[in-house]
């Protein structure tokens, strides 16, 4: 499958490294904004292709591109994905899937109606560790507490404090801790346990109204789940699930899903699978396999999971009082996170 890369940020370079480990995928083109053409050419040359589009419509109309991987800033995910689907391209869309549940549903309906494939690039849900956690839940007894934390001091935070607002710190482009980092906590929690009975979001708000850190609190029958994310401070990251007969803990940041410690009764084990040499490899393997096999039921399950996360985002934003996407002139740039 010939794939085009939409965006020239660092995440696109990581994606190309992952793609290089999936022989069924062939990167053939990249989209860069006109002022970033030189960077696009540099990335293309480093990855063995030469086509650089500086017009998004030209990328989507390129007959040599079968599918696109979209890695623009958060506010551009929906319009770029819609353009790609309308142009007949399969889409692997970087997290967060969209910025609202309504947008997510619209993309899902468009993909289903057009016979194309659409999937969110969200690493935890494509990790063997995630599936092992699901298999172990029954062994730790009734769940009584779930805690996720992804906190890392952003390299751009000091500049943000000085007044330089990058897209990831701009609520107008759906930046902030919720959309940038907490998605990695919410994706596995909601995937494992479904929608909560209630949800609220408490955040630390910066000088421009963006959430620099925050906690999502979700109530389920019999337990509480919390999802913490911070861009203004750092700590050990983890995902812990506690049951009456044992507990599970993912080692490291939830976007990595490197390994899980299993404490089930008298059994203690560490499960650390081969991730193919890069945390993003499995999502590209899954996307390629989904398209190649035509497995629309698989796509449907993935889309339902992505929509559930966006519904949680809607509820979190509403409860926090933070206004996202309020500036009418918010526009896209090349790089995501």
Write out pLDDT tens, residues 209-240. Answer: 999 999 999 999 999 999 999 999 999 999 99
Distance separating alpha carbons of residues 42 and 50, to the nearest angstrom: 9
Write out pLDDT tens, residues 275-320. Answer: 777 899 999 999 999 999 999 999 999 999 999 999 999 999 999 9
Q: What is the pLDDT of the chain when averaged over all its residues?
A: 94
List the beta bridge partners of residue 250.
239, 260
- Structure tokens belonging to residue 62: 């390129």
**DSSP letters of 12-69?**
HHHHHHHHTT-TT-EEEEEE--GGGHHHHHHHHHHTT--EEESSHHHHHH-TT-SEEE
Average the pLDDT over 80-91 and give the result.
97
Determine the straight-line distance between the first and last CA of the chain, rounded to whole angstroms: 26
| pLDDT for the residue 326 | 60
Q: In what order do the strands lie in the sheet with 198-205?
A: 198-205, 211-220, 223-230, 143-151, 238-243, 246-251, 259-264, 267-271
pTM, full prediction: 0.92
Q: Please name each of the domains of the chain with its CATH number.
A: 2-123 (3.40.50.720), 125-280+310-320 (3.30.360.10)
Tell which residue, 232, 271, 278, 226, has the closest CA to residue 248. Answer: 271
> Alpha helix (H) ranges present in the chain?
10-19, 37-46, 56-61, 77-86, 101-114, 128-136, 157-161, 177, 183-193, 281-293, 296-320
Neighbours of 197 (CB within 10 A): 8
Instruction: List Cβ<8 Å contacts ≥24 apart for 196-200.
Output: 196/220, 196/225, 196/312, 197/221, 199/312, 199/315, 199/316, 199/319, 200/315, 200/316, 200/319, 200/320
pLDDT over 60 at 136, yes or no: yes
Give the CA count within 13 Å in the CB-facing half-sphere of 288. 19
Listed in sequence order, the residues at least 6 apart from 308 whose beta carbon sits closer than 8 Å to its beta carbon are 190, 191, 194, 195
Distance separating alpha carbons of residues 152 and 236, to the nearest angstrom: 9
Write out pLDDT tens, residues 142-156. Answer: 999 999 999 999 999
Average the pLDDT over 82-96 and give the result.
97
Asked if 241 and 133 count as a contact pair (C-beta separation under 8 A), the reply is yes
Taking the CA atoms of residue 206, residue 209, residue 215 and residue 219 in that order, the dihedral angle to the nearest 10 degrees is 160
| pLDDT for the residue 229 | 98
Give the CA count within 13 Å in the CB-facing half-sphere of 7. 28
Percentage above 70 pLDDT, the chain: 96
């Amino acid at each position: 499958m010939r794939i085009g890369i939409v965006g020239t940020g660092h995440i696109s370079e990581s994606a190309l490294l992952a793609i290089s480990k999936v022989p069924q995928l062939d990167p053939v083109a990249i989209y860069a904004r006109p002022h970033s053409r030189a960077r696009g050419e540099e990335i293309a040359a480093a990855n063995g292709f030469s086509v650089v589009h500086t017009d998004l419509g030209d990328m989507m109309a390129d007959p040599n591109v079968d599918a696109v991987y979209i890695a623009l800033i958060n506010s551009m995910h929906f319009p770029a994905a819609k353009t790609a689907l309308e142009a007949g391209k399969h889409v692997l869309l970087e997290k967060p899937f969209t910025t609202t549940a309504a947008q997510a549903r619209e993309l899902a309906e468009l993909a289903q109606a057009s016979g194309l494939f659409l999937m969110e690039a969200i690493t935890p849900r494509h990790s063997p560790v995630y599936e092992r956690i699901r298999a172990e839940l029954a062994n730790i007894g009734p769940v009584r507490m779930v805690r996720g934390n992804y906190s890392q001091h952003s390299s751009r935070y000091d500049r943000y404090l000085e007044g330089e607002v990058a897209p990831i710190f701009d609520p107008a482009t759906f930046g902030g801790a919720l959309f940038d980092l907490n998605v990695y906590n919410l994706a596995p929690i909601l995937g494992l346990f479904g929608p909560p009975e209630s949800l609220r979001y408490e955040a630390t708000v910066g000088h421009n109204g963006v959430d620099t850190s925050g906690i999502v609190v979700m109530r389920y029958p019999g337990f509480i789940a919390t999802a913490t994310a911070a861009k203004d401070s750092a700590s050990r990251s983890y995902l812990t699930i506690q049951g009456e007969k044992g507990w599970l803990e993912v080692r490291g940041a939830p976007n990595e899903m490197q390994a899980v410690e299993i404490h089930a009764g008298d059994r203690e084990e560490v499960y650390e699978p081969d991730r193919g040499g890069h945390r993003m490899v499995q999502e590209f393997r899954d996307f390629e396999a989904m398209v190649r096999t035509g497995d629309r039921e698989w796509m449907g399950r993935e889309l339902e999971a992505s929509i559930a996360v966006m519904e949680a985002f809607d509820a979190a934003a509403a409860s926090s009082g933070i206004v996202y996407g309020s500036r009418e002139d918010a526009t896209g740039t090349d790089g995501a996170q």
